[in-house]
Structure 1
């Protein structure tokens, strides 16, 4: 075999190995594991600032391999924010079904919102950071507003039942309380020796309902 044929054979083998490697990397991903990579990149770069090339580079696969799993980055965004929205709405559905105790309902709403935020931190972070520049983002914002309205309704009903102080507008109180809950995404980072979801949820709940002043 002459040198030219040897080089040609080597190129074919290299190409085959590259294709096999790409197929293997693609096979290691599921829609959920690919979503995890995408949400991390969205939160680091911003959804608008993330290209399909960025996602492919972060995943270590080609763009065509990503399209093997999803239609595009908008589908990944929708799946990401829906994971947060589904968890929050399921929690609210459970609270709505409670038979009585409007104040308990509000307290549980705060506690569970923090738990979900910590447990689903990347996905809630993504939900809170969407800008509304695409149809998928605007749909996510509308769903988030609906959740905010449900939470505000809990506070308003507790106020109407006489369970809350009367010198605060319930809508303002709701914005302040759940604004504090949402701010957890800016500083909380999970890891060994860190506070658990229950630790953070309990602390926020106690601050909201008991305050910091020593009794």
Structure 2
């Protein structure tokens, strides 16, 4: 056994493993339905061992939600989301959103389940709305450019596109679900073939 593996075993959990396991429990039981005792049991440690890594349950939630949201905001800050025809930027954003969802599946799943019951959840929902507004502007630009069918409301397009992307969290299994690129290709073919003029 390597020295690193030995050190990791002796040390127990690091902040990353605490986060990963906690997100699994939150997704299984719901954030509100999960106690620190539940987390300690899932981690196989005492509650005080968890507090060594994080001040409390809400800080774990905040880090988990940031993991999902930071990926989306890094994507929309990318030049490919800002330059070129709106329809091409929109297609790129949808493709990247699928990749982020697959790459950060447990974190995005948790994000999509928050309801605003805490300050942390409210902040995450506001960031989600900011992302939705960005996508909605892209759809409206593509419609104004005449690149999206005029007989479909841009707000509805935004909801349907990202309702489809977000639904992946409900059924996707990395082992059997195909790659992120396969999913994005199928989704784009189904949606954009019907949207483009």
TM-score clears 0.5: yes
Say which one has the larger Rg: 1
46 and 171 in structure 1: CA distance in 2 versus 1, 3 angstrom threshold:
same
Moved more, 98-107 or 75-84: 98-107
**TM-score, normalization: structure 1?**
0.83
Name which of 87, 94, 102 aligns with 2:86.
102
Moved more, 88-97 or 50-59: 88-97
126 and 184 in structure 1: CA distance in 2 versus 1, 3 angstrom threshold:
same
RMSD (CA atoms): 1.5
In 1, Cα distance between equivalents of 2:49 and 2:108: 26
Matched, 1:73 2:57: yes
8 Å CA contact retained: 1:52, 1:63 = yes
In 2, Cα distance between equivalents of 1:170 and 1:102: 13
67 and 124 in structure 1: CA distance in 2 versus 1, 3 angstrom threshold:
same
How far the C-alpha of 1:97 sits from its partner, in A, is: 5.4
8 Å CA contact retained: 2:81, 2:90 = no
Number of residue pairs matched by the alignment = 187
How far the C-alpha of 1:25 sits from its partner, in A, is: 6.3
Query: What is residue 20 of structure 1 aligned with on the other side?
Result: none
Q: How does 1:114-129 map to 2 (within 5 A)?
A: 114-129=98-113
Q: Runs ≥4 in structure 1, deviation > 3 angstroms?
A: 95-98
Name which of 148, 152, 162 aligns with 1:168.
152
Deviations 1:65-99 (A, max 9, x none): 00000000100000001001000111111156543
How far the C-alpha of 1:161 sits from its partner, in A, is: 1.2
What are structure 1's unaligned runs of at least 5 residues? 1-23
In 1, Cα distance between equivalents of 2:181 and 2:73: 19
Deviations 1:51-75 (A, max 9, x none): 0000000000000000000000100
Name which of 197, 205, 208 aligns with 2:191.
208
Deviations 1:1-29 (A, max 9, x none): xxxxxxxxxxxxxxxxxxxxxxx868221
8 Å CA contact retained: 1:95, 1:109 = no
Q: How does 1:55-204 map to 2 (within 5 A)?
A: 55-95=39-79, 98-191=82-175, 193-204=176-187
What are structure 2's unaligned runs of at least 5 residues? 1-7
Query: What is residue 37 of structure 1 aligned with on the other side?
Result: 21
